[in-house]
Amino acid sequence: MTKTVDEIDFIRLALKEDIGKGDITARALSLKGIRGEAEVTAKDTGIISGIDPFCLVFRELSRSISFRIYKKDGRSVKPGDRIIALDGALDILLMGERTAMNILSHLSGVATLTRRFVDAIRDSGAKILDTRKTMPGMRLWEKKAVAHGGATNHRFGLYDMYLIKENHIAAAGGLEAAMKAALVHRKRTGAKLEIEVKNLDELRIVLAYAPDYILLDNFAIPMIKKGVALVRAAERSLVLEASGNVTLDNVARIAATGVDRISVGAITHSAPALDLSFRVLDR
Protein backbone atom coordinates (compact mmCIF):
# COMPACT_ATOMS: atom_id res chain seq x y z
CA MET A 1 0.00 0.00 0.00
CA THR A 2 1.33 3.45 -0.91
CA LYS A 3 1.97 5.66 2.10
CA THR A 4 0.89 9.27 2.13
CA VAL A 5 3.40 12.02 2.82
CA ASP A 6 1.48 12.89 6.00
CA GLU A 7 1.88 9.35 7.37
CA ILE A 8 5.59 9.29 6.65
CA ASP A 9 6.12 12.76 8.09
CA PHE A 10 4.27 11.75 11.24
CA ILE A 11 6.44 8.64 11.65
CA ARG A 12 9.63 10.60 11.06
CA LEU A 13 8.64 13.25 13.59
CA ALA A 14 7.79 10.60 16.18
CA LEU A 15 11.12 8.82 15.63
CA LYS A 16 13.08 12.08 15.82
CA GLU A 17 11.32 12.93 19.07
CA ASP A 18 12.32 9.59 20.61
CA ILE A 19 15.75 8.91 19.12
CA GLY A 20 17.20 12.43 18.98
CA LYS A 21 20.96 12.13 18.42
CA GLY A 22 20.87 8.36 18.81
CA ASP A 23 20.12 5.48 21.16
CA ILE A 24 23.01 5.66 23.61
CA THR A 25 21.95 2.47 25.39
CA ALA A 26 22.12 0.40 22.18
CA ARG A 27 25.48 2.02 21.39
CA ALA A 28 26.82 1.13 24.84
CA LEU A 29 25.87 -2.51 24.28
CA SER A 30 27.55 -2.56 20.83
CA LEU A 31 24.43 -3.88 19.12
CA LYS A 32 24.90 -2.25 15.73
CA GLY A 33 24.83 -4.83 12.94
CA ILE A 34 23.97 -7.76 15.21
CA ARG A 35 20.86 -9.54 13.99
CA GLY A 36 18.13 -10.81 16.23
CA GLU A 37 14.44 -11.51 16.52
CA ALA A 38 11.56 -9.97 18.41
CA GLU A 39 7.86 -10.61 18.70
CA VAL A 40 4.76 -8.71 19.69
CA THR A 41 2.19 -10.58 21.76
CA ALA A 42 -1.13 -9.70 23.35
CA LYS A 43 -1.43 -9.32 27.10
CA ASP A 44 -5.16 -8.58 27.00
CA THR A 45 -8.22 -9.42 24.92
CA GLY A 46 -9.01 -6.99 22.11
CA ILE A 47 -9.04 -6.09 18.42
CA ILE A 48 -5.85 -5.38 16.49
CA SER A 49 -5.37 -2.23 14.42
CA GLY A 50 -2.26 -0.43 13.25
CA ILE A 51 -0.15 -3.20 11.71
CA ASP A 52 0.71 -1.03 8.72
CA PRO A 53 2.06 2.01 10.63
CA PHE A 54 3.81 -0.34 13.08
CA CYS A 55 5.82 -1.84 10.23
CA LEU A 56 6.35 1.58 8.64
CA VAL A 57 8.20 2.75 11.76
CA PHE A 58 10.86 0.07 11.32
CA ARG A 59 11.02 0.51 7.54
CA GLU A 60 11.85 4.17 8.07
CA LEU A 61 14.84 3.05 10.14
CA SER A 62 15.98 0.17 7.95
CA ARG A 63 14.81 -1.67 4.85
CA SER A 64 16.40 -4.89 6.16
CA ILE A 65 13.77 -5.59 8.83
CA SER A 66 11.45 -8.47 7.92
CA PHE A 67 8.02 -9.16 9.40
CA ARG A 68 5.80 -12.16 9.90
CA ILE A 69 2.24 -11.05 10.63
CA TYR A 70 0.08 -13.47 12.61
CA LYS A 71 -2.88 -11.18 13.34
CA LYS A 72 -4.11 -8.75 10.67
CA ASP A 73 -6.06 -5.57 11.38
CA GLY A 74 -9.57 -6.31 12.61
CA ARG A 75 -8.64 -9.69 14.08
CA SER A 76 -9.35 -10.46 17.71
CA VAL A 77 -6.61 -11.46 20.14
CA LYS A 78 -6.42 -12.95 23.61
CA PRO A 79 -3.52 -12.98 26.10
CA GLY A 80 -0.53 -14.85 24.74
CA ASP A 81 -1.45 -14.58 21.07
CA ARG A 82 1.43 -13.72 18.74
CA ILE A 83 0.71 -10.67 16.59
CA ILE A 84 3.93 -9.87 14.71
CA ALA A 85 7.42 -11.39 14.57
CA LEU A 86 10.37 -9.23 13.47
CA ASP A 87 13.84 -10.12 12.27
CA GLY A 88 16.68 -7.66 11.77
CA ALA A 89 19.44 -5.59 13.37
CA LEU A 90 18.92 -5.48 17.14
CA ASP A 91 19.79 -1.79 17.43
CA ILE A 92 17.07 -0.96 14.88
CA LEU A 93 14.51 -3.17 16.62
CA LEU A 94 15.19 -1.40 19.91
CA MET A 95 15.19 2.09 18.39
CA GLY A 96 11.81 1.58 16.76
CA GLU A 97 10.18 -0.39 19.56
CA ARG A 98 8.53 2.34 21.61
CA THR A 99 7.28 4.49 18.73
CA ALA A 100 5.85 1.46 16.92
CA MET A 101 4.28 0.02 20.05
CA ASN A 102 2.74 3.36 21.06
CA ILE A 103 0.97 3.50 17.72
CA LEU A 104 -0.09 -0.16 17.65
CA SER A 105 -1.32 -0.19 21.25
CA HIS A 106 -3.28 3.05 20.82
CA LEU A 107 -4.95 2.08 17.55
CA SER A 108 -5.76 -1.39 18.84
CA GLY A 109 -7.29 0.28 21.89
CA VAL A 110 -9.49 2.38 19.62
CA ALA A 111 -10.60 -0.71 17.69
CA THR A 112 -11.24 -2.62 20.91
CA LEU A 113 -13.38 0.07 22.53
CA THR A 114 -15.23 0.58 19.26
CA ARG A 115 -16.08 -3.13 19.12
CA ARG A 116 -17.53 -2.94 22.64
CA PHE A 117 -19.90 -0.15 21.55
CA VAL A 118 -20.82 -2.02 18.37
CA ASP A 119 -21.53 -5.20 20.31
CA ALA A 120 -23.68 -3.26 22.81
CA ILE A 121 -26.17 -2.27 20.07
CA ARG A 122 -25.81 -5.27 17.79
CA ASP A 123 -29.49 -6.17 18.07
CA SER A 124 -30.65 -2.69 17.02
CA GLY A 125 -30.77 -1.08 13.60
CA ALA A 126 -28.46 1.76 14.64
CA LYS A 127 -24.83 2.29 13.68
CA ILE A 128 -21.93 3.56 15.79
CA LEU A 129 -20.01 6.46 14.23
CA ASP A 130 -16.80 8.21 15.16
CA THR A 131 -16.22 11.99 15.32
CA ARG A 132 -13.43 14.49 14.59
CA LYS A 133 -12.21 14.13 18.18
CA THR A 134 -9.01 12.44 17.09
CA MET A 135 -5.33 12.89 17.93
CA PRO A 136 -3.73 15.47 15.61
CA GLY A 137 -1.87 13.72 12.82
CA MET A 138 -3.47 10.33 13.53
CA ARG A 139 -7.00 10.82 12.19
CA LEU A 140 -6.70 8.52 9.19
CA TRP A 141 -5.25 5.70 11.30
CA GLU A 142 -7.79 6.22 14.06
CA LYS A 143 -10.68 6.16 11.62
CA LYS A 144 -9.30 2.96 10.12
CA ALA A 145 -9.18 1.57 13.67
CA VAL A 146 -12.84 2.50 14.14
CA ALA A 147 -13.66 0.57 10.97
CA HIS A 148 -11.57 -2.38 12.19
CA GLY A 149 -13.71 -2.31 15.34
CA GLY A 150 -16.85 -2.66 13.22
CA ALA A 151 -18.20 0.91 13.32
CA THR A 152 -18.82 3.48 10.59
CA ASN A 153 -16.74 6.56 9.82
CA HIS A 154 -18.39 9.97 10.04
CA ARG A 155 -16.92 12.77 7.93
CA PHE A 156 -13.13 12.85 7.76
CA GLY A 157 -12.79 16.61 8.10
CA LEU A 158 -14.29 20.01 7.48
CA TYR A 159 -14.01 19.53 3.72
CA ASP A 160 -16.20 16.52 2.91
CA MET A 161 -19.57 17.25 4.53
CA TYR A 162 -21.52 20.18 5.94
CA LEU A 163 -22.14 19.93 9.68
CA ILE A 164 -23.81 23.02 11.12
CA LYS A 165 -23.18 23.07 14.83
CA GLU A 166 -24.10 25.38 17.68
CA ASN A 167 -21.21 27.79 17.08
CA HIS A 168 -21.95 27.98 13.35
CA ILE A 169 -25.55 28.88 14.16
CA ALA A 170 -24.42 31.62 16.54
CA ALA A 171 -21.89 32.95 14.03
CA ALA A 172 -24.44 32.96 11.18
CA GLY A 173 -27.07 34.83 13.15
CA GLY A 174 -29.49 32.02 13.81
CA LEU A 175 -30.62 28.53 12.91
CA GLU A 176 -32.55 29.35 9.75
CA ALA A 177 -29.93 31.78 8.47
CA ALA A 178 -27.26 29.10 8.80
CA MET A 179 -29.44 26.49 7.17
CA LYS A 180 -30.38 28.67 4.20
CA ALA A 181 -26.76 29.70 3.56
CA ALA A 182 -25.56 26.10 3.64
CA LEU A 183 -28.30 24.94 1.28
CA VAL A 184 -27.30 27.61 -1.23
CA HIS A 185 -23.62 26.71 -0.96
CA ARG A 186 -24.11 22.97 -1.39
CA LYS A 187 -25.56 23.55 -4.86
CA ARG A 188 -21.91 24.09 -5.82
CA THR A 189 -20.48 21.10 -3.97
CA GLY A 190 -23.17 18.44 -3.79
CA ALA A 191 -21.93 17.48 -0.34
CA LYS A 192 -24.23 15.98 2.29
CA LEU A 193 -25.62 18.35 4.91
CA GLU A 194 -26.19 17.74 8.62
CA ILE A 195 -27.43 20.17 11.23
CA GLU A 196 -27.30 19.98 15.00
CA VAL A 197 -30.42 20.75 17.05
CA LYS A 198 -30.68 21.29 20.80
CA ASN A 199 -34.40 20.77 21.35
CA LEU A 200 -37.66 19.74 19.70
CA ASP A 201 -38.50 23.28 18.64
CA GLU A 202 -35.29 23.48 16.63
CA LEU A 203 -36.01 20.04 15.21
CA ARG A 204 -39.40 21.20 13.94
CA ILE A 205 -37.78 24.20 12.26
CA VAL A 206 -35.07 22.26 10.40
CA LEU A 207 -37.48 19.55 9.25
CA ALA A 208 -38.92 22.05 6.79
CA TYR A 209 -35.50 22.38 5.11
CA ALA A 210 -35.02 18.61 4.65
CA PRO A 211 -31.31 18.24 5.41
CA ASP A 212 -29.70 14.84 4.84
CA TYR A 213 -29.04 14.29 8.54
CA ILE A 214 -30.20 15.83 11.80
CA LEU A 215 -28.04 15.54 14.90
CA LEU A 216 -29.91 15.39 18.21
CA ASP A 217 -27.23 16.82 20.46
CA ASN A 218 -27.30 16.00 24.18
CA PHE A 219 -30.97 14.99 24.11
CA ALA A 220 -32.15 12.99 27.11
CA ILE A 221 -33.39 9.55 26.07
CA PRO A 222 -37.12 10.44 26.46
CA MET A 223 -36.52 13.47 24.23
CA ILE A 224 -34.73 11.35 21.64
CA LYS A 225 -37.82 9.13 21.48
CA LYS A 226 -40.00 12.19 20.93
CA GLY A 227 -37.64 13.46 18.25
CA VAL A 228 -37.73 10.14 16.42
CA ALA A 229 -41.54 10.07 16.59
CA LEU A 230 -41.73 13.65 15.30
CA VAL A 231 -39.54 12.93 12.29
CA ARG A 232 -41.20 9.62 11.44
CA ALA A 233 -44.66 11.22 11.71
CA ALA A 234 -43.52 13.82 9.19
CA GLU A 235 -42.64 10.91 6.88
CA ARG A 236 -39.17 12.26 6.33
CA SER A 237 -36.53 9.86 5.05
CA LEU A 238 -33.69 11.86 6.59
CA VAL A 239 -31.24 10.17 8.95
CA LEU A 240 -31.36 10.88 12.68
CA GLU A 241 -28.16 10.87 14.69
CA ALA A 242 -27.79 11.05 18.48
CA SER A 243 -24.66 12.38 20.16
CA GLY A 244 -23.46 13.65 23.50
CA ASN A 245 -22.57 11.82 26.72
CA VAL A 246 -22.86 8.41 25.07
CA THR A 247 -21.42 5.61 27.23
CA LEU A 248 -21.39 1.84 27.24
CA ASP A 249 -23.97 2.02 30.01
CA ASN A 250 -26.54 3.99 28.00
CA VAL A 251 -25.77 3.31 24.33
CA ALA A 252 -28.19 0.37 24.05
CA ARG A 253 -31.03 2.50 25.45
CA ILE A 254 -30.19 5.25 22.97
CA ALA A 255 -30.20 2.77 20.10
CA ALA A 256 -33.59 1.46 21.24
CA THR A 257 -35.16 4.89 20.61
CA GLY A 258 -35.05 4.27 16.86
CA VAL A 259 -32.25 6.66 15.86
CA ASP A 260 -30.23 5.64 12.83
CA ARG A 261 -26.77 6.62 14.05
CA ILE A 262 -24.99 7.25 17.34
CA SER A 263 -21.74 9.22 17.21
CA VAL A 264 -19.28 8.56 20.02
CA GLY A 265 -16.23 10.77 20.56
CA ALA A 266 -14.95 8.50 23.33
CA ILE A 267 -13.97 5.69 20.95
CA THR A 268 -11.09 7.82 19.71
CA HIS A 269 -10.34 10.43 22.36
CA SER A 270 -10.70 8.20 25.43
CA ALA A 271 -9.82 4.68 24.28
CA PRO A 272 -7.34 2.99 26.64
CA ALA A 273 -4.33 1.44 24.92
CA LEU A 274 -4.52 -2.30 24.38
CA ASP A 275 -1.91 -4.03 26.54
CA LEU A 276 0.67 -5.53 24.18
CA SER A 277 4.22 -6.79 24.71
CA PHE A 278 7.33 -6.36 22.53
CA ARG A 279 10.03 -8.88 23.46
CA VAL A 280 13.47 -9.44 21.98
CA LEU A 281 14.10 -13.19 21.84
CA ASP A 282 17.17 -14.62 23.54
CA ARG A 283 20.14 -15.14 21.24
Catalytic residues: 98, 133, 165, 196, 217
Q: What is the DSSP string of 39-87?
A: EEEESS-EE---HHHHHHHHHHH-TT-EEEESS-TT-EE-TT-EEEEEE
State the Cα–Cα distance between residues 275 and 273, nearest whole angstrom. 6
State the Cα–Cα distance between residues 201 and 281, nearest whole angstrom. 64
**In this structure, what is the dihedral angle of CA atoms 89, 95, 96, 101, given to the nearest 10 degrees?**
120
DSSP 256: T
Are 127 and 262 spatial neighbours (Cβ–Cβ below 8 Å)?
yes
